[in-house]
Every structure is written in C-alpha cells, then in structure tokens.
Structure 1
C-alpha cells in the first residue's frame, strides 16, 4: 500500500510539528482538532516555524508555499476517511485515545495504519481497542518535530512485520533516524528522561539550588544542550506529570513517584511555555 495521504490528530505542539514534517516531504496532510482555535494556533505555529527555516536559508519561499499547500485542516475525524496512515497526537489520556482509535478503526480502510505519538501509554493496550491490531504501531516523534532527527518506533505485541517495515521506511523518507523498541512503559526515551527531569524537580523542591543553577550544572557539567527544568517547561509540566504517573502505575516502583512540586505546579496551572509560566517565565 502506497502512503500518500496522512491524517494527524491534534493541532498542539506535537501535532502541528508532525503535520509540518509530513507536508514538507510532499505528503497530503489533514490536521484534525475539535477546537477551531487550536487549529488556528497550529497553523500559525507551522507558518512561524517555516519562516524561521526560510530565514536560515534551510527552505526556499517555494518550499514554504508547497508545504503549506499540502496541509488541510478539519474539526472532525470523518475528514480522515481516505487516509492510508493516521498519527494520533492527542493529549496523553487513555480514555480520549481509546475513543479516537475506536472511531478511526470504523472510518479507515482495513489496510490503513493507525499510529500513536503517545509518549508513555502501552501500544499493546491501544492495539487491543481495534479490530485489526496488527496495523497499530507507535511513532514517537521528538519535540521540536521538524528539527529533531529521532523517531522512536514502538511495536505493540500485535504489530505485524509489514506495518513495522512500512513505518520504518516512512520515517527514513522523512529524513528521520528510526529506532525500534519493544512496548514498555515510557519506551526508552521517557523511561530515562522523565525520571531525570523529576529528580531535577526534587533538587529544586529540596532547595539544593535554584532552577537556573540546576540547569547550569547539567548544561556545563553534563554537556546537555538544555537544562532539565527548562526542558520540562518546553515539554509541558502536565505532560511530564502524566508520564511520571503512568510509569509509577505500571512499574509500581516508588522511584517513579512524581515530585510533589511538579504536581503542585500543574495544579496551579503553571505548565511551562504554553501557559507562560513554569520553572521560568515566558
């Protein structure tokens, strides 16, 4: 099956980044979100990203125009009926994802691939929601999607070889480096990254150092390009908390217990860059 038409569910940071990446490489992409404002914001983010790339001479004006012409938006999953691949990038909530996947399974052709950009929810669990679980796979892009080269491909217990091979080849076509991992809580990326971020939050919670100094230690001492607290702000503190809670629930190991400060900041609406305030102000 040739893949030419892509659906992306969610117009947030990850959704619009995935949309831009596919459109930039010549795919016809429909970005779906139930919120008209989210769609408007997502398109604005794509235009701003393309403008930055154009300013750096990484894209020509013709490339930008072609990319934008490859993008359509819709407020309903029904608009994805003709897609050969759909990438779900909705909020990290299993109940919401289940509703989406069940509807997609009803709408899409039997041979269509259902992918999830989930950062921690079991792909085996997601695959069990649909009638053809062998066509379900994880495509975990990194933020910012247009720039980060990694795509973590997660095989559910049910994912067949053909689906895996198609998605692997597609990631290469997008100019990404695909790494295949088994299905497990947090996969590789977030199983390592989130506990590190959580430990940095504990260091701040215990007044070991300021947020700036904690990040400086990791940048200058460990050669990280961005400190863990600034990275948490970029990811979204609500997303970090959700992933930590999933790791804790799945492993039942206290080392994955979310720092109380992280939970407090989410409760206060201090979610990082997207809310204007997190460990830093924006």
Structure 2
C-alpha cells in the first residue's frame, strides 16, 4: 500500500490515547473514536499533559504541543474514520468487544486500508477471519506507556500478507519504535512469558510465602527488573492480567495458566491497581 498519512484509533483509554499521541507527534492525521465524548476529552487532557512533560524534558519543542494536538480529531461517530489508511483497535481485552469493533471497521474503511489490533493476547487469525480482508489484518501491540516504550510486537496472523507486515513494520519505525516480528499464538511472546510470572507471584502472596514488597524486591535486586511483577501488575491493571491469563488458558487448553484466585478476588473487589487506587499496593491518587 502507499505510505500512510491518516490513522484511526478506536478506544480512548490509556493505550488508545497513547497510540494517538505517538502518531500525532510523528506528523500523522489522527481520528480518535470512542463511544462517549467524556472519554475523548479525558484522553486529550492526558495527551496534552504528556506532551508538556516531553517538552519539559527537552524531547519536544514547546511550540509543537498545539500543532500536535491539532492533528488529533475526536469523534463518537465511527463513520468519521472512513478516510483512514490504517485503523488501530485499542478496546478492552475481550474478544466479543474487539470483534464488534473489527466488523465495523471492515465495513467503514476503504478496501486498501489495514486493520490493526493492539490486543495483547487474542488471536490475530481469529479476528482476521471476521473481515473481508484477512490478508490486511495484523497485530500492532504497543506497550504502556506508549510514548515512552519503544517496543512494538508486530504479530502476523495466518493470512497476514508480506505487504501488510512490511507496511506496519515501516510504520513502527516512522513512529520511532522498534518493531519485533512475532507469529500468532496466545499471548504472543511478551504476555506468554510475563503473565505466568505475575500469576505465580500472586500465588506466592496468596499462600503466605512473602509480602508483595518482598516479592518485588527479590526481582528488582536479584534479577535487575526495573519494577517487580506485582508493581507491574498494578500498572497494567489486575483485570487486564486476568483477561490475558484466561485467553492463555483457553488458547493452550493448559490449566497452568489459570488465574490465581487472589487475582480474581481482587477484580471482584474492584482492586484493579493504579487506575483504581488499590491493587497489591495502595496509591494516594487514582491514575
């Protein structure tokens, strides 16, 4: 396909707003879509704040903040994405919801457009099969915080064409990211390895082996991790961790991926981590 200039992002949460941020900062015209204008307004406020932080650190000229924001158009009307050359879906990690978004994008976007998903675990092949363009469906898995983290897992489904992969790989480089090619499998590479670690750490807490602080300290001091697995779980969101573990359990049919009962109880309690102010740790303000 020709070089991408216009991008649609569906979902204005933490990941969607971060993806919109990096595309707009890199000169792309972005349409950010969600079901409620409140979510879009909150996303724009977050993007403005993060651009200000980048400017304060000398990573972005202050004069470019407004022009970057000016490249982001928000809408609650999916039809407003019709001119996009690539759409990135960043809805919550549930197949039913993502499939609904993908079907709508397939209907709305032009035939040549690429459909990408930011899913962190769900099958690209399964999502591609919902569309009339499976060869143009691909995973583009960014990492949080999107403006800071350089990795993008570029995930090929069974039908993903070489042209689609090349376009998304090159697009990632234009964003200043490092694309890593991964084939479609539950959890890809990142979460297939990370989530069992977080799950086992939660079992250690549940079984009274150690405190959350002790578990995290072992990994920071003994394995040189920048943050421990339970701090990371709070950062990702306990609910997201449970959703991914369930995808892994179903995808592999292996009980070793079953979510730790403590994680499930925390979700039931609304203790989702930093975003609710309470997870394995208590936070003074909600993020």
TM-score range, shorter chain: over 0.9
**Per-residue Cα deviation, 1:203-234 (whole angstroms, up to 9, x for no partner):** 11111111111111111111000111111111
Q: Which runs of 5+ in 1 are unaligned?
A: none
Q: Does 1:279 align with 2:280?
A: yes
Q: Does 1:163 align with 2:164?
A: yes
- Where does structure 1 differ by over 2 angstroms across 4 or more consecutive aligned residues? none
Q: Counterpart of 2:74?
A: 73
Distance 1:274 1:33 in 2: 19
Task: Give the deviation of 1:63 after TM superposition.
Answer: 2.2
Distance 2:36 2:211 in 1: 38
Task: Give the deviation of 1:238 after TM superposition.
Answer: 0.5
Q: Counterpart of 2:15?
A: 14
Q: Helix, strand or coil: the match of 1:223?
A: coil
Q: Counterpart of 1:216?
A: 217
Task: Give the deviation of 1:266 after TM superposition.
Answer: 0.3
Q: Does 1:140 align with 2:150?
A: no
**Matching of residues 236-275 of structure 1 within 5 Å:** 236-275=237-276
Q: Counterpart of 2:32?
A: 31
Distance 2:17 2:254 in 1: 35
CA RMSD of aligned residues (A): 0.8
Distance 1:244 1:9 in 2: 24
Q: Counterpart of 2:232?
A: 231
Task: Give the deviation of 1:241 after TM superposition.
Answer: 0.2
Distance 2:28 2:95 in 1: 28
Q: Counterpart of 2:90?
A: 89
Q: Which runs of 5+ in 2 are unaligned?
A: none
Distance 1:114 1:59 in 2: 29
Distance 2:36 2:272 in 1: 20
How many residues align? The count is: 282
Q: Counterpart of 1:111?
A: 112
Q: Counterpart of 1:149?
A: 150
Task: Give the deviation of 1:99 after TM superposition.
Answer: 1.0
With normalisation by structure 1, the TM-score equals 0.98
Distance 2:38 2:269 in 1: 23
Distance 1:44 1:279 in 2: 28
Q: Counterpart of 2:61?
A: 60
Distance 2:68 2:168 in 1: 21
Task: Give the deviation of 1:76 after TM superposition.
Answer: 2.1
Task: Give the deviation of 1:254 after TM superposition.
Answer: 1.7
Task: Give the deviation of 1:45 after TM superposition.
Answer: 1.2
Distance 2:239 2:36 in 1: 19
**Per-residue Cα deviation, 1:177-223 (whole angstroms, up to 9, x for no partner):** 10011100000000001111111111111111111111111111110
